[in-house]
Structure 1
Amino acid sequence: MENNSARIGILLVNLGTPDSTSVSDVRKYLREFLMDGRVIDIPFLSRWFLVNCIIAPFRAPKSAKEYEKLWTDRGSPLLFHTKDLKEKLEEELDQNRYQVEIAMRYQSPSIENGLKKLQVAKVEKIIVLPLFPQYASATNGSVIQKVIEVAKDWQVLPSLNFVSQFMDNRLFIEAWSNIAREKLEKERYDAYLFSYHGLPERQIYKASCDGFCKLNEFCCGKLTEENRFCYRAQCYHTTRLIAKNLDLDPSKVYTSFQSRLGKDPWVQPYTEDLVKELAQKGHNKVLAFSPAFVADCLETTIEVGEEYKENFEALGGKQWDLVPSLNSHPTWVDCVKDLVIKNS
């Protein structure tokens, strides 16, 4: 018989952020992030050399300057928006039954710390919600693995429930639509760009069921049982759902992938190439979305909101607007509550 009075813990997990904009803190963050074998999936010694001798030393100073542009009086937007989400979610839930904690996969607050708080509270069940809408081994998979590693030695193990993805949740789609409508009510756009975080192609193939994934429109044009674990197919599906909800002209809707690292082929089309294509086609006004991220961060505010805007305008484009992330928007809070209730 289900115990409806059981204490339930909720762990909201986002990617992570440096503790400050100092080069040393950014370097520390990059090392932890990129040494994750699910992020850079190459042999350990090769990964260690690449991260510690090449990427972190040379990239940290540049990234620190980018974080300085992003930082506010409240610190890192990704962190304080996650805190705001926690507080608003708590207001919507029965606090006698639910305890909400937040964690970052890399840096602080750590997953270990968040789980410890729930362990001390003697919850009977923990709902782990990685805040990544589309499933990927490098994000959701990494969070799930880390939680299991931390909890595996507990003498008393509560029930663990993982929310592996929510890219087609009705309220998730509505949250993006509600925020976008604020832009659409003021402007008419020539094109709509949905930019998602990229992954190496090899990671897509590794997740493929019996070699089904071909990374083309035939494969990703529709979400099916065969490709439902394909990150690229999930991203295209999210684009279609949001565009349909907003009644956008399909011929003006584009999906692309950003944030490449290294020389290996990543999921295409690349956002930087699509920006050029949009300008060459004569699109003067573009509205950009970043539906792989639920909180404003370096990849949304700086990369999509500023860098691609500068590139677009340098190529003759007139206007480039970014739809803000979900952050702690009321419909997004409703979505998280819905995910919690469904998994309680």
Structure 2
Amino acid sequence: MVKKGVLIVNLGTPDSPEVGDVRKYLREFLMDGRVIDIDSWKRWMLVNLIIAPFRAPKSAKEYIKVWEDEGSPLLTYGVKTKHLLQEALGEEEYLVELGMRYQSPSIAQALDNLKAANVKEIIVIPLFPQYASATTGSVTAKVMELMGDWQVIPDIKFVQHFHRHPLFIKAFAEIGKKYLEKQSYDHVIFSYHGLPERQIIKAQIKTCCQLKNGTCSKNSEKNTFCYRSACFETSRLLASALGLQEDQYTVCFQSRLGKDPWIQPYTEDTIKKLASEGKKSVLAFSPAFVADCLETTVEVGQEYKELFEEEGGTHWQLVESLNDHPLWIACLQDLVHNTASKAEEVFVG
């Protein structure tokens, strides 16, 4: 029986926390023109002469904090997700492969495996809930590049975003509720990975909201692919599922790099503001990530906790990511089935 292929893709991870492997990963990651969207020669100089040499030793120390016997948690949960999704979909009709946009296991190898299996269609799911050119867009471009010289190109479908999928929201809410049931919190923050403001503006062209909260907080067809708007929508849906009122949570953005303005409000500024207002306990979500990694465990879970306590806060709690939660696997299964059904409708029609 000819199967349908499913390719799930996450960002990537170094092969080890050694400085050399971290430097190799950073170079591949940051040389992507969708990640650092400046002239190629400027990007080469910036990455190879400044960022990679000086940032790799520091990042290596951070990776050691999250590294497990099996390796990076991003890879560990990626492998678990692949196997659990394969089990949920069944082996008769589907073949599931895992690829990383940068480093191993590569997208190229995953596609080769699907090609060897002679799949009749491929469903690609970049594991980024909210669309951004630097993440989902980069995965889409890489897959298309790699398949460009195939003699036979099967039907291929991309899942562009899933931030409003009911099971995605339900899974994150269920994980968060176990903390809210144990104690009350003065405030909840939803911290998302940031992007340079110019990338938001470039992506929206004529329909850009110009980064205004009032517009971003209202989802419409015009801003479906606006990353900032999608983050606000994710937060609204999560807040509703958690029973939070509008004044009980804040949307903010982390991981700022360089001097150019990034989308705001910044998580660091939000933390200081909450502490200055007398907030003593905060529950923190990272809904841009489906698996725990440096940005969740270290940045939000440890560094922001230290900042909050330095500013006078007493209790900071990180809500872990979806990882291998059953509802997350069910969400992916539903995405596959819905995407496959749409492909069949187009073919029949």
Alignment match, 2:332:
336
Question: Residues 22-53 of structure 1, C-alpha deviation per residue, up to 9 Å, x if partnerless?
Answer: 00000000000000000000000000000000
* Residues 122, 155 of structure 2: 8 Å contact kept: yes
1:248 to 2:248 alignment: no
Q: Which residue number corresponds to residue 181 of structure 1? A: 177
Q: Which residue in the other structure is 2:264 paired with?
A: 268
C-alpha contact 2:6 2:97 (8 A) present in aligned 1: yes
Per-residue CA deviations over 1:240-264 (Å, capped at 9, x if unaligned) read 0000011012201100000011100
Check whether the contact 1:258–1:271 (CA below 8 A) recurs between aligned residues. yes
Aligned twin of 2:105: 109
Residue 220 of structure 1 corresponds to which residue in structure 2?
216
Aligned CA RMSD, in angstroms, stands at 0.8
Is the 1:204–1:213 Cα contact (8 Å) retained in structure 2?
Answer: no
User: 1:297: Cα distance to partner?
Assistant: 0.2
Q: Does 1:89 align with 2:85?
A: yes
Distance in structure 1 (CA, Å) of the matches to 2:125 and 2:62: 28
Whether the aligned pair in 1 keeps the contact of 2:128 and 2:135 (CA below 8 Å) is yes
Question: Structure 2 residue aligned with 1:285, among 264, 281, 284?
Answer: 281
> Within 2, Cα distance between the matches of 1:245 and 1:309?
25
Q: When the two structures are superposed, what TM-score results if normalisation uses the length of structure 1? A: 0.98
Deviation at 1:232, TM superposition (A): 0.3
Q: Is the 8 A contact 1:209 1:227 kept in 2?
A: no
Between structures 1 and 2, the one with greater helix share? 2
Cα offset for 1:211? 4.4
Match of residue 232 from structure 1? 228
How far did residue 221 of structure 1 move?
1.6
Q: Could you tell me which amino acid in structure 2 is paired with residue 95 of structure 1?
A: E
Name the counterpart of 2:343: none
Contact 2:10-2:101 at 8 Å conserved across structures: yes
Aligned pairs (5 A) from 1:147-226: 147-226=143-222
Identity of aligned residues (%): 59
Look up the match of 2:5. Answer: 9
- TM-score with structure 2 setting the length: 0.96
Q: Which one of 283, 296, 301 corresponds to residue 300 of structure 1?
A: 296
Count of equivalent residues: 340
Q: Which moved more, 1:286-295 or 1:90-99?
A: 90-99
Deviations 1:170-197 (A, max 9, x none): 0000000111111111111000000000
Residue from 26, 35, 40 that aligns with 2:36: 40
Alpha-carbon displacement from aligned partner over 1:57-91 (angstroms, at most 9, x marks no partner) = 00000000000001011110000001111111111
Indicate if the aligned counterparts of 1:17 and 1:29 stay in contact, CA closer than 8 A: yes
Q: Alignment partner of 1:73: what SS?
A: coil
For the 8 Å contact 2:197–2:262, the answer to whether it is kept is yes
- Relative to structure 2, which stretch is displaced further, 47-56 or 244-253? 244-253
Partner deviation per Cα, 1:194-217 (whole Å, 9 max, x = no partner): 000000000000011414321011
Letter in 2 for 1:46: K
Q: Indicate the SS of the match to 1:147.
A: helix
- Offset, 1:110: 0.4
Q: Which residue of 2 aligns with 1:327?
A: 323
Q: Quick check: 1:209–1:226 contact (8 Å CA) kept in 2? A: no
**What SS class does the counterpart of residue 222 from structure 2 fall into?**
coil
Aligned to 1:144: 140
Greater mean alpha carbon deviation, residues 205-214 or residues 332-341: 205-214
Where does residue 29 of structure 1 map in the other structure?
25
> SS of the counterpart of 1:320?
strand
Give, in whole Å, the separation in 1 of the partners of 2:209 and 2:18: 41
For 2:70 and 2:185, how far apart are their aligned partners in 1?
33
Structure 1 runs of 4+ with >2 Å offset = none
Counterpart Cα distance in 2 of 1:171 and 1:214: 31
Secondary structure at the counterpart of residue 18 of structure 1 = coil
Identify the match of residue 257 of structure 1 among 234, 247, 253: 253
The amino acid of 1:9's aligned partner reads: G
Of 262-271 and 214-223, more deviation after overlay is shown by 214-223
1:100 aligns with 2:81: no
Which shifted more, 212-221 or 255-264? 212-221
Can you give the 5+ residue segments of structure 2 that lack an aligned partner in the other structure?
A: 341-349
Q: 2:207·2:222 contact (CA, 8 Å) conserved in 1?
A: no
Residues 226-235 or 296-305, more deviating: 226-235
